[in-house]
Amino acid sequence: MRIRVLGSSAGGGFPQWNCNCSNCKGLRNGSIRAHARTQSSIAVSATGEDWLLVNASPDILKQIAQTPELQPARAVRDSGIAAVLLMDAQIDHVTGLLMLRERQTPLPLLATPEVFTDISDGFPITRILSHYCQVAPTELPIDGSTTAIPGLPGVEVQTVALASKPPPYSPFRGNPRPGDNIGLLLHNPASGAKAFYAPGLAAVTQELLEIMSGCTVVLVDGTFWTHDEMQREGLSKKAALDMGHLPQSGPGGMIEQLDKLPSGVRKILIHINNTNPMLVEDSAERAELVAHGIEVAFDGMDIAF
Ligand code: MLT
Ligand code: MN
Ligand code: ZN
């Protein structure tokens, strides 16, 4: 099984169009050692030909162009994207669905009932797509049961309800429900190996630590290094946890959580905000991650499990 990281950045991408934080400015003027990143998405395949797209980012057309495997060209109109699964209803995870409207058959779309509500109402993407290719919905259970992906034999998933937040446009922003945000356990039925993906994660519970301990690889929330990163740069009034993201550093932070996993688990941070100092490849923060055996995802990263 393969995971291809299509976009490793959080909402806004890196550099962000209107941002002049030290990272965005430094990347633009070449004064820092860092790489540009598109917005949050991965693709998963058992065959290398048909793929499950996990999240549809606003940058999807660029990501498809950068990933020849997603265009196997078996017919005059064709795509390697067989189905799309959504982790939440955030703008950076769903907007790309509109770019898939030229499909000639309904788009197989997997999400929780809570996410389907947000994208048919607050941001009515599925209603809009009903006038184009249409959507073939599959509701994802959050009771721990396994879901097979339509059109993708060999790919099986399990979801885990996570503590995080629905998007700012959701009527449930202030009143989160289980199912607004999920973590995804991907199974390789051939080898028995598992991978865990959670780009938005506000709390690492004991249950989650046990799930992650049983995985070959985990890709988890790498949005912010510090709790007050956006506030300190004067970019937002909100702290990391107000936005549903556990910061990496500090007591109880993601580094401390990942340190509890067995040494055989490959640990990767993903969904990285452009303000995060770990984006700078020769920074002290990056060196600290290396010392803890934690990797930083990049666009085009290929992970086998
Ligand atoms: C988030 O996960 O908090 C997002 O990246 C926000 C957004 O897309 O605006
Ligand atoms: Mn996001
Ligand atoms: Zn920035």
pLDDT tens over the chain, length 305 residues:
999 999 999 999 999 999 999 999 999 999 999 999 999 999 999 999 999 999 999 999 999 999 999 999 999 999 999 999 999 999 999 999 999 999 999 999 999 999 999 999 999 999 999 999 999 999 999 998 999 999 998 899 999 999 888 999 999 999 999 999 999 999 998 899 999 999 999 999 999 999 999 999 999 999 999 999 999 989 999 999 989 999 999 999 999 999 999 999 999 999 999 999 999 999 999 999 999 999 999 999 999 99
Q: Residue 304 and residue 44: Cα distance in Å, rounded?
A: 10
Question: Which residues does residue 7 pair with via DSSP β-bridges, in sequence order?
Answer: 41
90 CB near ligand 1 (under 6 Å)? yes
Number of the ligand closest to the Cα of 92: 1
243 CB near ligand 1 (under 6 Å)? yes
pTM of the model as a whole:
0.97
* Cα(75) to centroid(ligand 2), Å: 34
91 CB near ligand 1 (under 6 Å)? yes
Number of the ligand closest to the Cα of 245: 1
Asked whether the beta carbons of 70 and 79 are under 8 A apart, the reply is: yes
Residue nearest to atom 3 of ligand 1 (CA): 243
273 CB near ligand 1 (under 6 Å)? no
- Total residues belonging to the chain: 305
* Cα(160) to centroid(ligand 3), Å: 31
Residue from 8, 55, 90 whose mutation best tests the ligand 1 pocket (most atoms within 8 A of CB): 90
Asked whether the beta carbons of 181 and 166 are under 8 A apart, the reply is: yes
10 CB near ligand 1 (under 6 Å)? yes
Residue from 17, 197, 243, 270 whose mutation best tests the ligand 1 pocket (most atoms within 8 A of CB): 243
241 CB near ligand 1 (under 6 Å)? no
Q: Peptide bond before 137: cis, by omega within 30 degrees of 0?
A: no
Residue nearest to atom 1 of ligand 1 (CA): 11
Contacts of 117 (CB under 8 A, 6+ apart): none
* Cα(244) to centroid(ligand 1), Å: 9
Which numbered atom of ligand 1 lies nearest the CA of 244?
3
